[in-house]
Amino acid sequence: MSAAGPERAAPPDGQAGRPGADAAQERGAIRVLLAEDQALVRGALASLLGLERNIAVVAEVGRGDEVVAAAAASRPDVALLDIEMPGMTGLDAAAALHAALPDCRVVILTTFGRPGYLRRAMEDGAAGFMLKDAPASELAAAIRRAVAGERIVDPGLAAAALSAGENPLTAREREVLAAARTEGTVAELAAALHLSHGTVRNHLSTIMGKLGAGSRIEAIRVAEERGWL
């Protein structure tokens, strides 16, 4: 996703300008951090959650690499993270946040209902995985359930994740395939990854074999469709 507007300036206390943050603790509200790179979407989510009686948005960020610092400053109970963000993906941010603040419950909120994304999110400690087209009432309910210690996953998506199986690619193979999306030749790919030409060719051959793909482009498409990349 690309940014749709200017970021709100964060005040000195790091709570990203949310007016309900100071009162949240007093009324015992569930403290929520929003991470979404589209400013209009982020603002709409904050407004909808602001209508809930016991939920307060205490921080907003538009980049994945800002999540941990914002959470450390605002101490949310729940973090709602988009997947596609600049700086760091929501999945990587979820893993970093889980390591830094394990008591903060993470819910992935995304347009990408890919089984591989769900599996990665759950492996990285996320409490939930929801699609953005879910009704606002379901989002508020999911936040409350996450705080209560429940896991929130769409049943259809969970079934798809099970049927898709585990990601067959190793971390290095995912790195090579991800770089192949932007690097044209084997030589360029090798230079970008600081690997030999032969090593890159071997990785690409192994990747295509695992994914049943006849070309690098097809391998990228298959991996992206299944959320493995």
Cα gap 11→18, rounded to integer Å: 9
pTM of the model: 0.64
pLDDT one-digit tens code per residue, 74-128? 999 999 999 889 999 898 899 999 999 999 999 998 876 676 777 778 777 889 8
Domain ranges for the chain: 21-163, 171-225
pLDDT at residue number 154 = 72
pLDDT at residue number 15 = 41
Mean pLDDT over all residues of the chain?
82
The CATH code belonging to domain 171-225 is: 1.10.10.10
pLDDT one-digit tens code per residue, 178-220? 889 887 788 989 998 999 999 999 999 999 988 888 888 888 8
Confidence tier at 3 by pLDDT (50, 70, 90): very low
Give the range among 2-11, 58-67, 92-101, 215-224 with minimum mean pLDDT: 2-11
Confidence tier at 27 by pLDDT (50, 70, 90): low
Pick one of 3.90.45.10, 3.40.190.10, 3.40.309.10, 3.40.50.2300 as the CATH number of 21-163: 3.40.50.2300
For every residue of the chain, which 3-state class applies, written as one string? CCCCCCCCCCCCCCCCCCCCHHHHHHHCCEEEEEECCCHHHHHHHHHHHHCCCCEEEEEEECCHHHHHHHHHHHCCCEEEECCCCCCCCHHHHHHHHHHHCCCCEEEEEECCCCHHHHHHHHHCCCCEEEECCCCHHHHHHHHHHHHCCCCEECHHHHHHHHHHCCCCCCHHHHHHHHHHCCCCCHHHHHHHHCCCHHHHHHHHHHHHHHHCCCCHHHHHHHHHHCCCC
- Pairing verdict, β 105-110 and 78-81: parallel
